[in-house]
Amino acid sequence: MKPYVGILLTSLLLFGCSATQKEAEQDLRDPSVELKQTSIRNSTAIDDDTCYKYQRSLLHENLQDDYDRLYGALLHHEASVLLDCSVPYVMTLFDAVTFDHPELFWSNYEYNYKESEDKKSVTLYPSYAYDKKESAALQKQVDAVASPLLQKAREKQGDYEKVKFLYDWIIDHTDYVNKEENNQNMLSVLLDQEAVCAGYSKSFKYLLDQLDIPNAVILVQVIENPDEYHVVNMVQMDKAWYYLDPTFGDIKIEKSYANYRYAYFGMTSEEMENIYTPQQEIKKTTAVKDSFFYHEGAYLKGYDEDQITAIIASNINNPNPCLAIKCDSRQTYEQVKQLLRSQHIFNLFENAGYNPQEFEYYSLDENYCFFLNYW
């Protein structure tokens, strides 16, 4: 073996967020590994069979064996693990495991390694934020929060209501704070209630996994800031895939616009790619029936003043009048924007039985949404 390589590698860290991914093209050998069961997995902790392992599915078949070996090592706080791959693959494997398994909160996302002389295998030495005893104690604290939350979620009818309940809970109970402790794991949301995007997304996945709702953490870059790495969630509702971003849903905009958070709930892949650039393979999606706007009757399939009037009428008795409207296309969006810029919108208010003196609106060009306050 070569002498110890004195390099500390860090897995993808998401603050708002930078990273380097390496790739290599070479044949990999097929390793074999026997995974043990863990005693820390109980109550709200997740079985490996329950977890939806999207990142694993994207790996080459031979790399999937290394994924399993690395998962087993992190699960049991092992001091080292032999991987039958070359060094450039290590970061990809580490990120895949920790994206698929947010319950491994004790991983410190750092490791050292030793490379074999033939460069076909690597011995990895993971770093842990918490030892086994500390991890077990923290898991009990997580259980105390997650168990009643999941019980309430299970009482909801259908995937949409379950997912929306958890999405709302995370946003309502979390502040976006860029801090060091636990900022890459689910503890930042479930215990600390202060997180960056990794905490939002991984805690969401952790909870969805336990409801047996297929989902994944997806690495993206924000188009408006290409130096910023970010993560969103890909979630299956009623057998169709959607994209959700609880981090962006928690943005505090200048004015208070009710339902703003749902602009990032139930996006199609096209809408998602108007905002982010995926850094990995994603599922192409077109479904809209489990978007918030579709459920609320506020999804416009073409420019329709009768439907807009009906949306206004349905909000008249709201103590804090606010409209939330989503358009099916750029063309429809531009037509609605023109309506809002003209006096004709007041005619629709009048037709709905309401006569506001003023209104203001906030628009999102990327996903064709409008939010209106009026008084």
DSSP codes of every residue in 255-296: S--TTGGGGGEEE-HHHHHHHEEESS--------TTSHHHHT
pLDDT at residue 167, as a whole number? 98
Specify whether the CB–CB gap between 196 and 188 falls below 8 A. Answer: yes
Residue 9, strand partner residues: 111
pLDDT at 78: 98
Q: CA nearest 8: which of 140, 174, 124, 171?
A: 124
Domain positions in the chain are 5-131, 296-375
Q: Helix, strand or coil for residue 228?
A: strand
3-state secondary structure of 93: helix
What is the reported pLDDT for 109?
87
Residue type at 249 in one-letter notation: G
Per-residue pLDDT, 228: 85
- Please tell me the distance from the alpha carbon of residue 315 to that of residue 324, in angstroms, as a whole number: 10
2 within 8 A of 121, measured Cβ to Cβ: no
β-bridge partners, 123: 82, 114
Q: How do residues 275-331 score in pLDDT, each as one tens digit?
A: 999 999 999 999 999 999 999 999 999 999 999 999 999 988 877 778 999 999 999
pLDDT digits (tens, 9 = 90+) for 299-313: 999 999 999 999 999
Under a CB-based contact definition with an 8 Å cutoff, are residues 356 and 375 in contact?
A: yes
Supply the pLDDT for residue 40: 33
At residue 7, the pLDDT reads: 55
Distance CA 210, CA 52 (A): 10
Q: Each residue of 171-200: pLDDT tens digit?
A: 999 999 988 788 899 999 999 999 999 999
Output the pLDDT for position 34: 30
Helical spans, DSSP H, in the chain: 54-58, 61-75, 90-100, 132-154, 158-172, 187-190, 197-210, 246-249, 269-275, 292-295, 305-314, 330-341, 344-351
Contacts of 66 (CB under 8 A, 6+ apart): 28, 31, 83, 84, 85, 89, 93
Torsion of the alpha carbons at 234, 239, 240 and 246, rounded to the nearest 10? -30
Residue 39's pLDDT is 30
Residue in the structure block whose two tokens are 């073409």: 302
What's the chain's average pLDDT? 88
**CA 117, CA 134: separation in Å to the nearest integer?**
37
Residue in 163, 164, 201 with CA at minimum distance from that of residue 54: 201
Question: pLDDT digit of tens for each residue in the chain (375 aa)?
Answer: 333 454 556 666 775 543 333 233 233 333 333 322 233 333 455 555 557 999 999 999 999 999 999 999 999 999 999 999 999 999 999 999 999 999 999 999 899 999 999 999 999 999 999 999 999 999 999 999 999 999 999 999 999 999 999 999 999 999 999 887 888 999 999 999 999 999 999 999 999 999 999 999 999 999 999 888 999 999 999 999 999 999 999 987 645 788 999 999 999 999 999 999 999 999 999 999 999 999 999 999 999 999 999 999 998 887 777 899 999 999 999 999 999 999 899 999 999 998 888 889 999 999 999 999 888
The pLDDT of residue 253 is: 66
